[in-house]
């Protein structure tokens, strides 16, 4: 196994457990990155010859190496994948009664480059790095062996693969995979698109935040903005919402969201919502139109995509978060509840709090924060990597000042 030698002092983050090595941290005079093949295993060495662990290398990427073990000569291979996937599965089985969860969460499970969502007997995986891509067959085999899955879909269509010099693709890697499936979450049943859905099909990370928001849904008109397939709205319908309005730019997503709301509203029983209003189009324009119509909602859930995907987009993205929150607050009834979220790792929790604070002040409203949400436990946080602690939400009661 080759060695990758770091410049003096650049091993400090790795010593406390961080998993990423950046190209400018490598002593390229002693170990040229061009000498490594994409995905090749290497022992990482500091300037003094001490080894903080084993990694895989991609000379074409800014993150040129990702640690896979704190031991020497311990490369990512079939045996290590079996161990890590088995460990990840044991955590989820302790957390959930049904096999519907994020099974592997990249660095959070010491599986950098591998994300897997489980839908019963079907797994949807996303491989985002050259080192994990080299191990695709071994990873799929380990997943099938651990779970007994009958189908594994690779949703390798994320833009981050291009940063690793990898092609985008969507393909069935094992067995057969349905276009849609049903999952159980918080007592609700959802139809989820797998082959044509967003990312890996569902956003398990919001499970706990959806359940908390639903506490305030009974008898209320509910607005679910950036709804995708209606996760917040359908959970609210199951809790007894009087009506649910859904907003998303994707017509297929809105149509499926309406179906999910109806199904879970009927499950509530007599008095439960049996209809939903789906609005397809730009969320900002839709919220502005609802404001012009004078609409008010007792519960408003705002769960936008990551407006800040790169640090250089921070200013523009922050403006989008601010505008979205202001428009959403205009639609909250006096004394109603507002849920605001961000999945951007480049917007920290305090920045989102300031967004809410400034939006409420601008609209001459008083916000009373009653919950601060995080990603679910099936998205474990690596304590040395703030990048893995990405989901933030605030649930607040809103009053006219």
Active site residue 343: yes
* Catalytic residue from among 227, 301, 341, 343: 343
For the chain, how many structural domains are there in total? 3
Closest CA to 189 of 250, 248, 92, 256: 256
259 and 381 in a common domain: yes
Whole-model pTM: value is 0.94
* Confidence (pLDDT) at 310: 83
* Confidence (pLDDT) at 152: 98
CA angle, 157 then 160 then 164, to 5°: 110
pLDDT digits 0-9 by tens, 40-93: 999 999 999 999 999 999 999 999 999 999 999 999 999 999 999 999 999 999
* Confidence (pLDDT) at 85: 98
Q: Tokens for 87, please give them.
A: 């460990």
Q: Which of 29, 45, 69 is a domain's end point?
A: 69
Q: Does residue 328 have a pLDDT over 70? A: yes
CA distances, 354 to each of 141, 186, 326, 358, 392 (Å): 46, 30, 12, 6, 13
53 and 114 in a common domain: no
392 and 372 in a common domain: yes
Provide the strand spans (E) within 226-296. Answer: 243-248, 277-280
The predicted model gives 26-51 an average pLDDT of 96
86 and 42 in a common domain: no
For residue 299, the domain's CATH number is 3.40.50.150
State the Rg of the chain over Cα. Answer: 23
For residue 86, the domain's CATH number is 3.30.750.80
Closest CA to 276 of 304, 306, 238, 326: 238
Provide the strand spans (E) within 318-391. Answer: 332-342, 365-373
**What range defines the domain where residue 8 resides?**
2-69
205 and 57 in a common domain: no
* Confidence (pLDDT) at 62: 95
Confidence grade of residue 132 (pLDDT, cut at 50, 70, 90): very high
């Amino acid at each position: 196994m080759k060695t990758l030698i770091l410049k003096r002092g650049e091993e400090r983050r790795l010593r406390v457990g961080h998993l990423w090595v950046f190209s400018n941290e490598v002593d390229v005079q002693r170990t040229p990155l061009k000498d490594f093949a994409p995905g090749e295993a290497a022992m990482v060495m500091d300037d003094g010859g001490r080894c903080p662990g084993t990694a895989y290398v991609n000379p074409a990427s800014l993150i040129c190496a990702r640690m896979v073990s704190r031991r020497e000569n311990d490369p990512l291979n079939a045996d290590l994948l079996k161990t890590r996937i088995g460990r990840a599965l044991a955590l989820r089985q302790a957390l959930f009664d049904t096999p519907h969860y994020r099974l592997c969460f990249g660095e959070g499970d010491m599986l950098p480059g591998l994300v897997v969502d489980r839908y019963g007997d079907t797994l949807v995986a996303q491989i985002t790095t050259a080192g994990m891509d080299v191990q695709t067959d071994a990873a799929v085999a380990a997943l099938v062996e651990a779970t007994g899955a009958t189908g594994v879909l690779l949703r390798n269509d994320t833009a981050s693969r291009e940063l690793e010099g990898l092609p985008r693709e969507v393909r069935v890697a094992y067995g057969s995979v349905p276009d849609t499936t049903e999952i159980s979450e918080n007592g609700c049943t959802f139809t989820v698109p797998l082959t044509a859905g967003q990312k890996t099909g569902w956003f398990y990370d919001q499970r706990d935040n959806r359940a908390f928001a639903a506490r305030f849904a009974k008898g209320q008109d509910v607005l679910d903005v950036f709804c995708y397939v209606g996760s917040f709205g359908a959970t609210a319908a199951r809790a007894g919402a009087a009506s649910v309005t859904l907003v998303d730019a994707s017509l297929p997503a809105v149509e499926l969201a309406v179906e999910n709301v109806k199904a879970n509203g009927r499950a509530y029983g007599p008095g439960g919502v049996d209809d939903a209003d789906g609005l397809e189009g730009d969320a900002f324009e839709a919220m502005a139109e609802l404001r012009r119509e004078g609409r008010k909602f007792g519960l408003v859930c705002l769960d936008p995509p990551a407006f800040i995907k790169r640090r250089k987009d921070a200013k523009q993205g922050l403006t989008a978060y601010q505008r979205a929150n202001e428009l959403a607050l205009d639609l909250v009834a006096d004394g109603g509840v507002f849920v605001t979220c961000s999945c951007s790792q480049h917007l920290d929790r305090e920045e989102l709090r300031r967004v809410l604070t400034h939006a409420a002040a601008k609209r001459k409203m008083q916000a009373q924060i009653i919950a601060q949400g995080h990603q679910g436990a099936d998205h474990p946080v690596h304590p040395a990597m703030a990048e893995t602690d990405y989901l933030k939400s605030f649930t607040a009661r809103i009053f006219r000042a």
